[in-house]
Structure 1
Amino acid sequence: MSIKNWTRVGLAGAVMAAAIVAVPALAQSDRGVEARLAALEKRVALEEDRAQIENLTRAYGYYIDKKVWSEVVPLFSKDAVVEISGRGVYKGAKGVDTLFSKVIGRQHMGLADGELSNHMVLQGVTNVAPDGKTATGRWRAFIQIGMWQKMGLWAEGTYDIRYVKEDGKWKFSLMRWYGTYFTPYDKGWAQASFGNNGPSKEFPPDAPPSVQYDAYPGHYVPPFPYPNPVTGRPWTQADTDRYSTRGMDPSNAANSSSAGSPLSLESQRQQQPPR
């Protein structure tokens, strides 16, 4: 065989050897691409979940603004638990409806003439579980309540929320709202503050309040449902206890900053729209 032919055979063998080596390498590369695509698809799905959760929470705020309780109740899961500002724990669809339409709404749908009830739901931090079935959220509500030429009220507080995907849709499974302060518009938080609401006698909760805490001039730090985003340190109940006051809620007559007001705390509350 000539040198030329030997060269051809050698080149053909080299090509075949390279092809044999390349086949598993290409297969391995394909598997790597598939893994990266799967991870990317999961990230996209979680971001879509986050967007749906944030839209759900913001929609809730707009319905609350106008007291459209018939639109609020369907946003909760069938086994939901809700607790708003010391009123106690309400459970299930019936409990959610009782709390919003009867306790807070006083059996009235929509705003009364001359009524203001803005609940601006802001500063959301949401985290979706890796399986895409549950999530946590922490939001705050800045609130303006008023009746034309009668009264005005400022309030603010923190929402601690759990979400669940039920029948393919995100819903609230647990909602707690901790009031930071409640103060008359004409006096402001420097001079007057109301305490937390208590349980309704007419429409009692399914369980008493899960925690007793101080509103302003006291303060309470609801547990953070997420770790520190930089250090990774989780928040503990000991942290909440450390940074929260005890016995400073204005409901305590000795500490009530509404003392000396022309109207008693109870009579002022009777003139207010529900909060």
Structure 2
Amino acid sequence: MSAGLASRVDALEAQAAVRTLKAAYMQGLDDRRRGAVADLFWEDAVWEALPERVPDGVDEAPGAGERIVGREAIAASFVDAAARMSFTAHFLTNESITVSGDRAVGRWKLLQACTAGRDTAFWQAGVYVDDFERRDGEWRFAHLRLAMDFRTPYHEGWLATRMWELPTVGAGR
């Protein structure tokens, strides 16, 4: 096999490994195997909730980010989240995975149905941008980033309670 062909095959296998890893993460959260999901992360990994994304023309992002460092701390945060959220269903789309040797970056859009406690249904949506690393032939999360577009009560939908007002097209430009 030529070096070019071997490199392309390796990149395709890396993309498949990253895709499988991300699916295991999502399914593990939905199956409430929260602490075990942290095993998909390297010991020195970072899980980061970025401030909410904002549309063009808006100066500030509402909310503050959260940064959790290390597999043990990530596991504890997943267990805590499971205590607050009795149901989750994660749906991902718009996948993009770029591989460069033993590193990869994956991007996905998220739509998630959730239940807080036992009686508060809500929707949330956002974007994942994740860094993956292959160490000793194994792929795991190195840095997961999640930026939310919205979080809103189910009965209100995502139009009734806005996190920010969208700019008028063409206004001020």
Would the TM-score normalized by the shorter structure come out above 0.5? Answer: yes
**Could you tell me how far apart the structure 2 residues matched to 1:167 and 1:143 are?**
34
* Partner of residue 20, structure 1: none
* Partner of residue 105, structure 1: 82
**Could you tell me how far apart the structure 1 residues matched to 2:108 and 2:14 are?**
17
Q: Which has the higher contact order (CA 8 A, sep 6+)?
A: 2
List per-residue Cα deviations over 1:38-97 (Å, max 9, x = no partner): 211111111111111111111111111122113311100111011125452111122211
Match of 2:26 among 61, 71, 80: 61
Q: Which amino acid aligns with 2:164?
A: P
Judge conservation of contact 2:128–2:145 (CA < 8 Å) in 1. Answer: yes
List per-residue Cα deviations over 1:219-256 (Å, max 9, x = no partner): 8xxxxxxxxxxxxxxxxxxxxxxxxxxxxxxxxxxxxx
* Secondary structure in structure 2 of the residue aligned to 1:62: helix
* Secondary structure in structure 1 of the residue aligned to 2:157: coil
* Secondary structure in structure 2 of the residue aligned to 1:142: strand
List per-residue Cα deviations over 1:160-217 (Å, max 9, x = no partner): 1100012311100001101110111111122114xxxxxxxxxxxxxxxxxxxxxx33
* Partner of residue 112, structure 2: 143
Counting aligned pairs with the same residue, the percent is 25
* Partner of residue 16, structure 2: 51
**Do structure 1's residue 95 and structure 2's residue 64 form an aligned pair?**
no
Question: Residue 218 and residue 172 in structure 1: after superposition, are their counterparts in 2 closer, same or farther (change >3 A)?
Answer: farther
* Partner of residue 158, structure 2: 189
**Could you tell me how far apart the structure 1 residues matched to 2:44 and 2:69 are?**
7
* Partner of residue 127, structure 2: 158
Judge conservation of contact 1:81–1:92 (CA < 8 Å) in 2. Answer: yes
Question: Residue 87 and residue 66 in structure 1: after superposition, are their counterparts in 2 closer, same or farther (change >3 A)?
Answer: farther
Q: Which amino acid aligns with 1:150?
A: D
Moved over 3 A (4+): none
Written as runs of structure 1 = structure 2, the 5 A alignment for 1:206-221 is 216-217=163-164
* Rg larger for: 1
TM-score under structure 1 length normalisation: 0.51
Q: Which amino acid aligns with 1:79?
A: D
Judge conservation of contact 1:77–1:166 (CA < 8 Å) in 2. Answer: no
Q: Which amino acid aligns with 2:114?
A: I
Question: Residue 70 and residue 147 in structure 1: after superposition, are their counterparts in 2 closer, same or farther (change >3 A)?
Answer: closer
- Deviation of 1:218 after TM superposition, in Å, equals 5.3
* Partner of residue 119, structure 1: 90
| Contiguous gaps of at least 5 residues in structure 1 | 1-33, 194-215, 220-275
Judge conservation of contact 2:34–2:78 (CA < 8 Å) in 1. Answer: yes
**Could you tell me how far apart the structure 2 residues matched to 1:167 and 1:218 are?**
48
Written as runs of structure 1 = structure 2, the 5 A alignment for 1:203-242 is 216-217=163-164
TM-score under structure 2 length normalisation: 0.79
* Secondary structure in structure 2 of the residue aligned to 1:189: helix
**Could you tell me how far apart the structure 1 residues matched to 2:3 and 2:15 are?**
18
Q: Which amino acid aligns with 1:118?
A: A
